[in-house]
C-alpha cells in the first residue's frame, strides 16, 4: 500500500477535499517519516513539528467549513532556510544568522500561509546559498537519500533531499546559478527555477540580486505547477517582480507536445561527461520526438563563458549584499572589544565560512577601481551575449533540452577544489544570466543514482516547460521511483 508520505500533492489534495484523510493525519505521517529518516539524511536545520500540527488542525477546520480551500491547503511543505519566516529562525545555514528570527514573512511565505500550507521545517543549504553540495553549511552536510555517502547537491540540497525522502510533499528553494535544478537532478525530483521576476524576492535573503529566484521542488510536474502557482505573480514590495499576472500552470498540462519545437544545444555536451548522462539525454530527446515534438539542433555559442561571467557577477553582487552583516544591525556580533573596527572584523572572521569569504573577496576585487572595467564590465557584456544566444534560439524553438548536471551525485568530501565544484552548474548558470526559466526532471538512472533532464523555456514560458515535463512523465516512470535502503 502507498504510505501517506508517498502521495503526491495532487492526490493528497483530492483525498483531503473528499474528507478521506485529514491534514493532521497527513502531517503526522510526515513527522513520523522525519523521525525515521532525518537522522540519516539531515535535510533540516529546524523541524517545526508543533507549528505543523497547529497549521494542520487549522487546515482541517477549513476543510470542514469548505471555505478558502486551495490545492496546497493542509499540505506538508519544507522551506529553504533563507526565506524569511516571521519569528522562526532563518539561518542561511550560517553562524552569522544562527539566531536570526525575522520580524516579518517573505512575500512567498505570506502567500503560502494564506493558502494554508503546513510548514514542517526549514531546510539545510550551503551557507548563503553559495555552493553545490550543502557541504558549505556551517552546521552539517545533508546526505543524498539515494546514497547516504553522497551529496544531495546544493545549495538547496536540504529541500531536494526532504522531498526525495518523503519528509515533505513539496519544498521551496532558491536558484542563483543552479541551486534548485542541480540538487533536484541529483535527488530525482522536479526542481523549477522561474523566470527572473516571476516570483517575488521580498524576504529572500539576497545572494546575487540580479540572478536569485525562489522556486519549487516536487515529485512530479503537476505538483510543481501547483507549488509555482501559489507563489507566482506581481508584488508591490519587490520592484524587480514582474507586473504580468501568472498563467494557469495546471491548465497548461494538456498531455500533448505535438508540434512543439524543442532545441538541443550542441554546446551542452562537454568533454569528460559520463557516457550514461549523454545516453540518458539522447534517449529522452528521442522520446520527446516520438511524442510529437519537432527536435532541432541549436547553437548557444557563448555558453562556454557562462561560468566565468557568473563567478564575477555573482560574487560582485554578493559582496555588496553581504556588507550588511557587520555585527551591528542583526545576527552574530563579536563583543569582546571596545574597538569598532576590530568588532566588525572579528564578526566577519567568525561569522562567515571559507566559501562566503572567498566570494566576498572575489567580488570586492572585481569591483575595485582599475579592475571594474577589466572584469565586472566584461562579465556584464558576456552576460548580454549569452542572453542574445537564447533570444536567437527561442525564435526557432519553444523550449531547449539538455542534461541538468555534468555528472551524477558525487561523494561527500569528494570535490575539494572550489573550481571543480563551480563546474557543477555548467548547464544551469546560463539560464540565470539570461533570466529565463528552467526545470530539472527525473530523466534516468546510472548505477542507482538519478540523472536529471533540464528543460529551458523562454522568459515567462513556465507553462510550456511544465507541459513538456508532465507529458514526458506520462511516458516514463523515473519520477515514481523511491530511494531504497533508506
Query: Hey, which residues between 183 and 212 contact ligand GLN (CB under 6 A)?
Result: 207
Binding mask 116-145 for ligand GLN (x = CB under 6 A): -------------xxxx-------------
Residue 314 makes contact with ligand GLN by CB under 6 A: yes
Please work out the total of residues on this chain that contact ligand GLN, with binding judged by CB under 6 A.
13
The span from the CA of 235 to the CA of 241, in Å, is 6
Cell numbers for 124: 539545510
Query: Does residue 94 carry a catalytic annotation?
Result: no
- For residue 253, give the DSSP letter: -
CA 155 distance to own-chain centroid = 8
| DSSP result, 324-359 | G-SSSSSS----S-S-HHHHHHHHHHHHS-HHHHHH
Nearest to ligand GLN of 462, 473 (CB atom): 462
How near is the Cβ of 405 to ligand GLN at its closest, in Å?
11
440 belongs to the binding site for ligand GLN (CB under 6 A): no
Q: In the range 152-171, which residues lie near ligand GLN by CB under 6 A?
A: 155
Q: Is 73 one of the binding residues for ligand GLN (CB under 6 A)?
A: no
How many Å apart are CA 257 and CA 268, to the nearest integer?
23
155 is catalytic: yes
CA 313 and chain centroid, separation: 20
Q: What binding mask, one character per residue, do residues 342-381 give for ligand GLN by CB under 6 A, x or -?
A: ----------------------------------------
CB of 267 to ligand GLN, least distance (A): 19
* Stretch touching ligand GLN by CB under 6 A, among 52-60, 176-184, 270-278, 376-384: 176-184
Whether the CB-CB separation of 350 and 337 falls below 8 Å is answered with: no
175 belongs to the binding site for ligand GLN (CB under 6 A)? yes
**Rounded to whole angstroms, how far apart are CA atoms 369 and 157?**
37
Here's the x/- map for ligand GLN, 420-439, by CB under 6 A: it reads as -----x--------------
H helices of 126-188, in order, are 157-164, 181-187
Query: Which span sits near ligand GLN by CB under 6 A: 98-106, 173-181, 247-255, 273-281?
Result: 173-181
Strands across the sheet with 294-298, in order?
Answer: 44-47, 118-123, 76-80, 170-175, 213-218, 190-193, 437-446, 449-457, 399-403, 261-265, 294-298
Taking Cα atoms as reference points, which of 443, 442, 441 lies closest to residue 457?
441
Out of 45, 144, 179, 321, the only residue in the binding site for ligand GLN (CB under 6 A) is: 179
Give the catalytic positions in this structure. Answer: 80, 155, 179
Binding site for ligand GLN (CB under 6 A): 129-132, 155, 175-179, 207, 314, 425
Amino acid at each position: 500500500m502507498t504510505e501517506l508520505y508517498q502521495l503526491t500533492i495532487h492526490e493528497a489534495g483530492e483525498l483531503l477535499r473528499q474528507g478521506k484523510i485529514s491534514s493532521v493525519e497527513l502531517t503526522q505521517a510526515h513527522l513520523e517519516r522525519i523521525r525515521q529518516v532525518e537522522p540519516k539524511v539531515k535535510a533540516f536545520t529546524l523541524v517545526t513539528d508543533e507549528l505543523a500540527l497547529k497549521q494542520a488542525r487549522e487546515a482541517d477546520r477549513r476543510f470542514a467549513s469548505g471555505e478558502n480551500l486551495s490545492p496546497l491547503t493542509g499540505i506538508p511543505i519544507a522551506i529553504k532556510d533563507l526565506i524569511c519566516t516571521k519569528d522562526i529562525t532563518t539561518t542561511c545555514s550560517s553562524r552569522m544568522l544562527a539566531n536570526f528570527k525575522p520580524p516579518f514573512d517573505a512575500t512567498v511565505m505570506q502567500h503560502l500561509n494564506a493558502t494554508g500550507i503546513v510548514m514542517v521545517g526549514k531546510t539545510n543549504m550551503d551557507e548563503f546559498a553559495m555552493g553545490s553540495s550543502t557541504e558549505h553549511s556551517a552546521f552539517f552536510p545533508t546526505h543524498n537519500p539515494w546514497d547516504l555517502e553522497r551529496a544531495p547537491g546544493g545549495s538547496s540540497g536540504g529541500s531536494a533531499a526532504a522531498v526525495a525522502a518523503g519528509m515533505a510533499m513539496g519544498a521551496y528553494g532558491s536558484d542563483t546559478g543552479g541551486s534548485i535544478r542541480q540538487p533536484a537532478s541529483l535527488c530525482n525530483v522536479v526542481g523549477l527555477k522561474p523566470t527572473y521576476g516571476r516570483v517575488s524576492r521580498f524576504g529572500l535573503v539576497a545572494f546575487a540580486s540580479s540572478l536569485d529566484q525562489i522556486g519549487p521542488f516536487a515529485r512530479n510536474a503537476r505538483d510543481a505547477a501547483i507549488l509555482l502557482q501559489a507563489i507566482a505573480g506581481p508584488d508591490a514590495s519587490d520592484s524587480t517582480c514582474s507586473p504580468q499576472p501568472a498563467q494557469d500552470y495546471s491548465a497548461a498540462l494538456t498531455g500533448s507536445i505535438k508540434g512543439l519545437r524543442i532545441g538541443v544545444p550542441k554546446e551542452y555536451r562537454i568533454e569528460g561527461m559520463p557516457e550514461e548522462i549523454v545516453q540518458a539525454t539522447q534517449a529522452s530527446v528521442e522520446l520527446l520526438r516520438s511524442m510529437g515534438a519537432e527536435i532541432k539542433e541549436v547553437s548557444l555559442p557563448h555558453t562556454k563563458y557562462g561560468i566565468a561571467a557568473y563567478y564575477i557577477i555573482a560574487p560582485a553582487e554578493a559582496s555588496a549584499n553581504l556588507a550588511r552583516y557587520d555585527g551591528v544591525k542583526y545576527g552574530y556580533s563579536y563583543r569582546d572589544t571596545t574597538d569598532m573596527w576590530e568588532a566588525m572584523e572579528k564578526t566577519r572572521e567568525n561569522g562567515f565560512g571559507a566559501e562566503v569569504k572567498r566570494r566576498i573577496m572575489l567580488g570586492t576585487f572585481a569591483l575595485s577601481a582599475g579592475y571594474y572595467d577589466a572584469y565586472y564590465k566584461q562579465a556584464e557584456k558576456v552576460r548580454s551575449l549569452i542572453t542574445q544566444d537564447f533570444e536567437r534560439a527561442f525564435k526557432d524553438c519553444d523550449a531547449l533540452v539538455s542534461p541538468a548536471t555534468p555528472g551524477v551525485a558525487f561523494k561527500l568530501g569528494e570535490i575539494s577544489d572550489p573550481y571543480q565544484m563551480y563546474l557543477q552548474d555548467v548547464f544551469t548558470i546560463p539560464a540565470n544570466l539570461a533570466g529565463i526559466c528552467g526545470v530539472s526532471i527525473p530523466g534516468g538512472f546510472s548505477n542507482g543514482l538519478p540523472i536529471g533532464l533540464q528543460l529551458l523555456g523562454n522568459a515567462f514560458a513556465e507553462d510550456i516547460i511544465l507541459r513538456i515535463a508532465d507529458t514526458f512523465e506520462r511516458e516514463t516512470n523515473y519520477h515514481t521511483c523511491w530511494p531504497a535502503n533508506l
